[in-house]
Amino acid sequence: MENFFKRKDPPPGAPAGGPNPKTACTSSTSPSSSSAPRWSTHHDALLARTEAACAPCAKIAAFDLDDTLQKTRSGQKGYMVTDVNDFVDWSADVAPTLRRLHATGYKIVIFSNQGGVKGAMTGKRADVVRRRIDAFARAAGVPLQAFCATQKGVDKDPRSYRKPGAGMWKLATSAAFNGGVEVNVAECFFVGDAAGRAGDFSASDKEFAAGAGVRFMTPEEAFNAPGCAPAGPGDGGGREDGEGAAEDANTKMESAVCAKEGGEGVIVIDDDDDEVDKKMASLRDDTP
Ligand SMILES: [Mg+2]
């Protein structure tokens, strides 16, 4: 099974991943111009993050956090880790992909269950979550919003923030966090590792996407998996160190192909067009 993002490289001389002012939700966003993030708590069951550069947007590229955008060096579960330095990107393709999505008009949003925070909304666990996500955003170089459900059960989580509940999606797309702009669910998607595959701990991410009414992809479908060799000449393979170097600037289509069971998805992002040429092949659902 092939899984891949296909995208055209930026025009020669263009900064890798730089925002296209004609399509980006933010017109003046750069890593250095992002303002300080703002964190808030909601109903004692949710930590939410936004920043001024996250403009209201009809297109949302949404991601789970643990084992999707990030993994741990130590191999520990993310909710058990208190050392922020233990978190690393899930693959070298994560940050370049987020930058490309942002540059082509998507708002980047994280939806994560962080049950380890429990009731200590202002305690050590909450602080780890905030510092971890702030550091990730700075390193990725994109503005982003994040919603972290911290409670479980009807009594403690009456708004169903915890995935697979749709409460976080409802809040993220509300006027409070999207400025009254109606989201076009047909152009939104959610990436998560809890897909109900053999070995997955649950299908909560897949069910969350279904509840939100958006397409679902696994990390393997969205990113070059760790250790997955890129295919094709001039393909940077999503490597940070491959961008703009040792690759043919005229190579228009990057095709990182990774054999993977579970589904097939294709997104074409054409940086040359005013409008994003985005085609999502039908995701063949063959998961249990
Ligand atoms: Mg996860």
Question: Residue 239 Cα, ligand 1 centroid: separation in angstroms?
Answer: 22
With respect to residue 235, please indicate whether it lies within any of the assigned structural domains: no
With respect to residue 239, please indicate whether it lies within any of the assigned structural domains: no
Question: Residue 192 Cα, ligand 1 centroid: separation in angstroms?
Answer: 6
Which domain CATH number covers 179? 3.40.50.1000
Question: Residue 27 Cα, ligand 1 centroid: separation in angstroms?
Answer: 31
Distance linking the first and last C-alpha atoms of the chain: 16
Q: What is the pLDDT of residues 65-94, one digit of tens each?
A: 999 999 999 999 888 888 999 999 999 999
Question: Residue 115 Cα, ligand 1 centroid: separation in angstroms?
Answer: 12
Q: Which of 1-5, 52-56, 282-286 has the highest mean pLDDT?
A: 52-56
With respect to residue 7, please indicate whether it lies within any of the assigned structural domains: no
Using CA atoms, how far residue 266 sits from 7, 61, 282, in Å, is 9, 14, 8
Question: Residue 63 Cα, ligand 1 centroid: separation in angstroms?
Answer: 9
| Peptide bond between residue 31 and the one before it cis (omega within 30 degrees of 0) | no
Concatenated DSSP letters for 100-151? HHHHTTPEEEEEEE-GGGTT-TTSHHHHHHHHHHHHHHHHHT--EEEEEE--
CA–CA distance, 132 with 148 (Å, rounded to integer): 12
Structural domain that includes position 215:
17-221
Question: Residue 12 Cα, ligand 1 centroid: separation in angstroms?
Answer: 36
Question: Residue 230 Cα, ligand 1 centroid: separation in angstroms?
Answer: 24
With respect to residue 288, please indicate whether it lies within any of the assigned structural domains: no
Question: Residue 113 Cα, ligand 1 centroid: separation in angstroms?
Answer: 8
Mean pLDDT of 41-53: 94
pLDDT, residue 119, reads: 62
With respect to residue 173, please indicate whether it lies within any of the assigned structural domains: yes
Domain count, the chain: 1
With respect to residue 283, please indicate whether it lies within any of the assigned structural domains: no
Residue 217 pLDDT exceeds 80: yes
Q: What is the percent of the chain where pLDDT is above 90?
A: 59
Q: How confident is the model at residue 224 (pLDDT cuts 50, 70, 90)?
A: confident
Question: Residue 108 Cα, ligand 1 centroid: separation in angstroms?
Answer: 16
Question: Residue 249 Cα, ligand 1 centroid: separation in angstroms?
Answer: 35
With respect to residue 193, please indicate whether it lies within any of the assigned structural domains: yes
Mean pLDDT of 37-43: 94
With respect to residue 175, please indicate whether it lies within any of the assigned structural domains: yes
